[in-house]
Amino acid sequence: MRPRTLQKLDDSARWLVARLHEPMGRAELTEVLTERGLTRPEAMAVLAYAVASGLLVERAGLLVPPGRFSSSEGAPPAGTTRQEPHSGWILVVEDEEDCASALKDLLDAEGLRPVSVAHHGKHALRLLALAGRPSLILLDLMMPEMNGWELLEILREDPELRDVPVVVLTASREKPPNVPVVRKPFRVPEVLSVVERAMAASA
């Protein structure tokens, strides 16, 4: 590759990283670069360069500068280790505020692990990109922006996240195969029992 071409890639990649305020997908970043005047192939080359050079890392299908968002709002609680295979936190993905708060309070009271809450699938992906692999995901199926079915499909395609235990929370009769289910409205003993079995199975 010619030095001038490499310099152009580096300049564009650093311009992009400086303006990246939250984890984003490749398609979104490609649009940002094309709005700057790059062609789509040029934008894709910039993203490839940024990943290859370590300016961006890919986590849960999103690109993020290493260490950029470690103190962002919504990241897992203190005591969670970033980017470790078993970081020891639980992710609750639930759009109903009362239900999410009740689950978080319940798990906190049991002293199981640090707990973080996402209110839809895209929010969950951002947290996963920031903090890495959780010990368990409690997943509602019916949510706005990205529902639980879509999030589960993305998780199953990610080599780092495909074997993270998932417990589905739903009032629907439909459920994903081979996934433990807690029916809404849930009962405390049932939630604790399913959570403890799922975490024991993954230990």
**Claim to verify: residue 120 and residue 174 sit in the same structural domain:** yes
pLDDT at 199 over 50: yes
Please identify, among 28, 48, 64, the residue that sits at the C-terminal boundary of a domain: 64
Size (the chain), residues = 203
Residue 116, strand partner residues: 91
**How does residue 203 score in pLDDT terms, banded at 50, 70 and 90?**
low
- What residues are paired with 168 via a beta bridge? 139, 181
Q: What is the largest CA-CA distance in the chain?
A: 64
Q: In this structure, are 39 and 95 located in the same domain?
A: no
Q: What is the pLDDT of residue 8?
A: 85
Residue 85: inside a domain = no
Count of other CB atoms within 10 angstroms of residue 53:
12
Give the residue-averaged pLDDT of 115-138: 88
Q: Is the pLDDT of residue 163 over 70?
A: yes
Instruction: For residue 39, give its domain range.
Output: 3-64
The label of the residue with tokens 């992906």 reads: 125
Which among 49, 64, 79 is the end of a domain?
Answer: 64
At residue 140 the predicted structure's pLDDT band, cuts being 50, 70 and 90, is very high
The CATH number that applies at residue 20 is: 1.10.10
Residue type, 175: K
Confirm whether 69 is domain-assigned. no
Give how many domains the chain has, as a whole number: 2
Residue reference for tokens 């368990």: 136
Res 79: pLDDT: 43
Position 151 confidence tier, pLDDT thresholds 50, 70, 90: very high
pLDDT > 70: what percent of the chain?
Answer: 87
Q: Which amino acid is at 167?
A: V
Output the average pLDDT for the chain: 82
Give SS3 for 41.
helix
Nearest Cα to 29, choosing from 72, 65, 71, 73? 65
Same domain, residue pair 113 and 183: yes
Q: What is the pTM of this model?
A: 0.64
Say whether pLDDT at 139 is over 90. Answer: yes
Query: Within a domain: residue 81?
Result: no
Q: Is the pLDDT of residue 82 over 70?
A: no
Residue 173 in this model has a pLDDT that exceeds 70: yes
Q: Are residues 60 and 121 in the same domain?
A: no
Burial 91-120 (b: 16+ CB within 10 A, else e): bbbbbeeebbebbbebbeeeebbbbbbbbb
Q: Are residues 53 and 130 in the same domain?
A: no
Q: Same domain, yes or no, for 60 and 96?
A: no
What CATH number does residue 172 fall under?
3.40.50.2300
Angle of helix 26-35 relative to helix 3-18, nearest 10 degrees? 110
Q: What is the three-class DSSP state of 62?
A: strand
